[in-house]
């Protein structure tokens, strides 16, 4: 179980770093080619558009399921305070921290689910348990021969780089964590925590395993795409377009 937790954390952190790196460098290349910051952001929006759509629609679906009113859904570049740029947003009614946290978490859950669905149904990735980076790496060459391989890889890239919750999505998480900790303390002092852990242990293991595969597969795609971006920047520098300092 400890190894599974470590793999989950490692792949999550790696993917988080890669998505931020890719966002900066896609926009950087767009700026080098056009010297237009707005256009550079449009390039990144177009690259991740399927993921942005899934991200925002996941908020809407979760809000509807939790009976929270949705006021407005928008897709497109929006400028917020402190020079923050978002590619889409969903305005919902005021609600409690638990439901707000679940709505904020929905894109990550749906993104991982769709990536796993693509991997298993479109790319032919079999059921691999427990998580093994070596097993995943050996399975990669067989994916190449899947029909419409590049389309599915693009969707993994677009969805994986748009599924992380934004700062607005995370605003209620600390209150939800306090509530969960409070409930956990009650269960602990009531002597029920061990029973609960035993009941959900198998389910939690399966979820961790699936999330780790989703993060790892997306990270591999991001690493390859990141290498392409790096080489593109070097070529543009050689051609006299200059360099961007990030």
Contact 56, 75 (CB under 8 A): yes
Contact 182, 101 (CB under 8 A): no
Average the pLDDT over each of 60-74, 122-136, 175-189 and give the range with the smallest value. 175-189
Half-sphere exposure of 63 (CA within 13 A, CB side): 22
Kindly list the distances between the CA atom of residue 188 and the CA atoms of 12, 89, 172, 191, 200, in Å, as whole numbers in the listed order: 29, 39, 25, 5, 15
Residue 17 confidence (pLDDT):
94
- Percentage of residues in the chain with pLDDT exceeding 90? 42
Contact 5, 211 (CB under 8 A): no
Mean pLDDT of 166-173: 73
Nearest residue to 217 (alpha-carbon basis) of 151, 121, 123: 123
| pLDDT of 83 over the 60 cut | no
Q: At what angle do helices 173-189 and 97-117 cross, to 10 degrees?
A: 100
Rounded to two decimals, the pTM is: 0.86
Render pLDDT for 44-81 as a digit per residue (tens, 0 to 9): 999 999 999 999 999 999 999 999 999 888 888 877 66
| pLDDT of 214 over the 70 cut | yes
Residue 228: pLDDT band by 50, 70, 90 thresholds?
Answer: very high
| pLDDT of 235 over the 90 cut | yes
Burial of 150 (0-12, 13-18, 19+ CB in 10 A): exposed
Render pLDDT for 104-122 as a digit per residue (tens, 0 to 9): 889 999 999 999 999 989 9
Residue 87: pLDDT band by 50, 70, 90 thresholds?
Answer: confident
Residue 140 confidence (pLDDT):
86
**Are β-strands 85-92 and 70-79 bridged in parallel, bridged antiparallel, or unpaired?**
antiparallel
């Amino acid at each position: 179980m400890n190894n599974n937790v470590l793999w989950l954390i490692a792949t999550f952190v790696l993917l988080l770093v890669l998505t931020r790196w890719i966002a900066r460098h896609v926009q950087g290349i767009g700026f080098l080619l056009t010297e237009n910051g707005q256009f550079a952001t449009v390039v990144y929006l177009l690259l991740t558009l399927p993921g942005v759509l899934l991200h925002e629609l996941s908020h809407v679906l979760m809000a509807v399921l939790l009976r929270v009113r949705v006021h407005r859904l928008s897709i497109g570049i929006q400028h917020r305070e402190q020079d923050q740029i978002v590619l889409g947003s969903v305005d919902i009614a005021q609600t409690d921290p638990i439901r707000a946290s679940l709505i904020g978490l929905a894109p990550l859950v749906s993104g991982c689910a769709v990536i796993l669905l693509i991997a298993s149904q479109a790319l032919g990735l079999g059921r691999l348990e427990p998580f093994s980076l070596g097993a995943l790496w050996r399975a990669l060459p067989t994916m190449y021969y899947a029909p419409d391989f590049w389309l599915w890889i693009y969707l993994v890239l677009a969805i994986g780089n748009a599924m992380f919750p934004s700062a607005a999505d995370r605003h209620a998480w600390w209150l939800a964590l306090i509530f969960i900790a409070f409930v956990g303390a009650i269960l602990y002092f009531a002597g029920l925590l061990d029973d609960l852990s035993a009941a959900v242990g198998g389910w939690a293991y399966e979820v961790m395993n699936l999330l780790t595969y989703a993060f790892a597969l997306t990270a591999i795609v991001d690493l390859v795409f990141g290498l392409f971006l790096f080489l593109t920047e070097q070529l543009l520098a050689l051609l006299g377009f200059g360099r961007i300092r990030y």
